[in-house]
Structure 1
């Protein structure tokens, strides 16, 4: 974890953007075997160039590829490990009022690192850096892969290769360390680990889910923290590692609800990251009191602007909430962003491209008023 973790700006986004029609069509053609991966990239890369230019004009310091190269914010990354397999059907997850259409993703062998395809994608974004603009790479947290492999539909297969969770955690950590080094060697200095596991383990529903699996909730929290911390152990000192926590974001729906209180002693106090990007766009996230548990070496990016709906938030109300959060963490350690990406999966959220950029402009406007 870097010793100098100061955000250059108090204004950021989580990283994913609504896909333009050309990208969606290219993905459909690639999935149907009509075009090769090279042809897919020849279509998508110019769209990424356009997106990066828009990010720069919007005033963003950190730039991303918008996750244009993937269908899902998490699964595509997992498929880049040896031992992880997937099938198009069977991976649906029930969200609030809608089933998220996901690929079934499971183990077919021991987890090992290999040259990860996302690294080449990063190199392309890295080539688009300019003064004041730095490429950051987003990918799912190690805990997300751990959770994927211990859910009921996967646990039997996982146990064929890993008799215990401890063995599974060790191999996930080794694989992540290797891939993080691949990104570092490609010039990456800012990584964001997207993590729904902490958001999924809060609230009464989580207790029932894990009880049905025969798992103690506190033991699971310890394992989530362990796999995340082991995976970044030994990372280069000048590599910024942040994490983003939410409760699910699919087609403007959510997976779960609950305040941070029950996980603050784990992730806020003890996860070895530089900054926490936290969902706080509605009452499902609870109050700011758990922010008092954030360790002094971390910064917090408040996700007070929602990416789920097109309506613009009231600026005065958002500023009031920032001041409320500042009762628990000094204002200079706080920043502002949307609570999640605009298209965690290719389907995207229910707003237009213009409404997406209006949200980002609002974040910038509020940031300038609060932090100057």
Structure 2
């Protein structure tokens, strides 16, 4: 495979060597969270442990060569629910059954409405400010949050739909309030210095899975739901400051090294790739469950695609030659100048983390960097 020209080296996010965001929680942090849950330590004591763990993590990210740093989602239990619980009009709710992944069921928790939704005073703004102090000329601070469509999907879970419809009988009003709440949070993040926002969005991975449709009791179809999801996401993405780079990440579930759904992007590619107004896509491509690259032909304008060719679920290192072959194959549909590489998802979308060690996690990222440098140059 030919090496891309030096002009392919990127100076803004997404970078040729990139990462989705979450990292395995160190044991000291896990123990502190358990102690806090039991009431053995205070919230301030937990925060002190989190702060120290995040400082250490950020240095490790810089050492491995990442140019976009995050807090690893160390202050969260879930990649998505903690953000939703931070919105006004939303509460944490225990339920009877979690999501059924392949071979394992998740913890049974959700986000349920208590009233109208708004986004003021969101705790993630303070979380971002902590990371922002470590940004420098070589590293930008990135904030990851669940996409608006992901929140809408959570409110429409069978366990939540009755409450949601009681508070929002009109779906359009619900969509508008979700978008308004998100815009409020994004504005506060921007004021705090955020210039790279990643919308994590598993709704698309679910839409292409058969189990999503067999579990529904309405008569909606994939085109209708895809249009709805693009609409609510774009209401937040549109009219943001030009220097705020908004990207999105799509996968098919990532819980304790298990997956939720299978299916190629084909059925939703015209909506997701053609109509959603993000500047880049972080896409799962580490297994055949995500299908081929053909649907990338629908990626519109000059958007970038970060190929998730490396598995964050498995400790085994990928074969570099095979990865390079896949990059070359993807470049038939999106020019190589608009491609980057990363793991297919984070290493710990929930605090349980995937089944690999921290050393294996960093070895995986070193390999991603090696491939990126060999393809696009240092």
Q: TM-score range by the shorter chain?
A: over 0.9
Match of 1:27 among 33, 40, 49: 33
How many Å separate the matches in 1 of 2:91 and 2:371?
44
Q: Which residue of 2 aligns with 1:324?
A: 329
Per-residue deviation, 1:8: 6.6
Structure 1 residue 89: Cα displacement: 4.4
Kept after mapping to 2: 8 A contact 1:252/1:309: yes
Structure 2 counterpart of 1:117, from 112, 123, 126? 123
- 1:153 counterpart (141, 159, 171): 159
The CA RMSD over aligned residues, in Å, is 1.4
Q: CA deviation at 1:5?
A: 9.5
Shift of 1:162: 0.6
Q: Give the paired residue count.
A: 368
CA contact (8 A) 1:91 1:104 kept: no
Q: How does 1:31-50 map to 2 (within 5 A)?
A: 31-50=37-56
Return 5+ residue gaps in structure 1 as ranges. none
Secondary structure of 1:152's counterpart equals: coil
* DSSP-derived class of the 1:92 partner: coil
Match status 1:172 vs 2:189: no
Q: Which residue of 1 aligns with 2:375?
A: 370
Aligned: 1:16 with 2:25: no
| Offset, 1:27 | 1.2
Equivalent position SS for 1:53:
helix
| Aligned twin of 2:314 | 309
In the alignment, does 2:277 pair up with 1:268? no
Q: Aligned residue for 1:141?
A: 147
CA-to-aligned-CA distance 1:28-77 (integer Å, 9 cap, x gap) = 12222222222111111111111101000100000000000000000000
Q: Give the structure-2-normalised TM-score.
A: 0.95
- Alignment partners' CA distance in 2, 1:220 and 1:24: 38
4+ aligned runs moved over 6 Å, structure 1:
none
Question: Does 1:347 pair with 2:352?
Answer: yes
| Residue deviations 1:272-309 (CA, integer Å, cap 9, x gap) | 10100000000000000000000023100000000001
Q: CA separation in 2, counterparts of 1:35 and 1:233?
A: 43
Identify the match of residue 185 of structure 1 among 180, 183, 191. 191
Distance 1:104 1:90 in 2: 10
TM-score by length of 1: 0.96
Counterpart CA distance in 1 for 2:14 and 2:151 is 31
Deviation at 1:206, TM superposition (A): 2.9
For residue 232 of structure 1, the aligned residue among 230, 237, 240 is: 237
CA deviations 1:246-289 (Å, max 9, x no partner) are 01000000110000000100010110101000000000000000
Deviation of the 1:117 alpha carbon:
0.5
Q: Are the aligned partners of 2:95 and 2:159 in contact in 1 as well (CA < 8 Å)?
A: no
What CA distance in whole angstroms lies between the structure 2 residues aligned with 1:31 and 1:70? 13
Q: Give yes or no for contact 2:308–2:344 (8 Å, CA) kept in 1.
A: yes
Residues in 2 aligned to 1:157 and 1:367: alpha-carbon distance in whole angstroms: 47
Task: Note the alpha carbon deviations across 1:93-114, whole angstroms, 9 max, x for none.
Answer: 1110100114232111111112
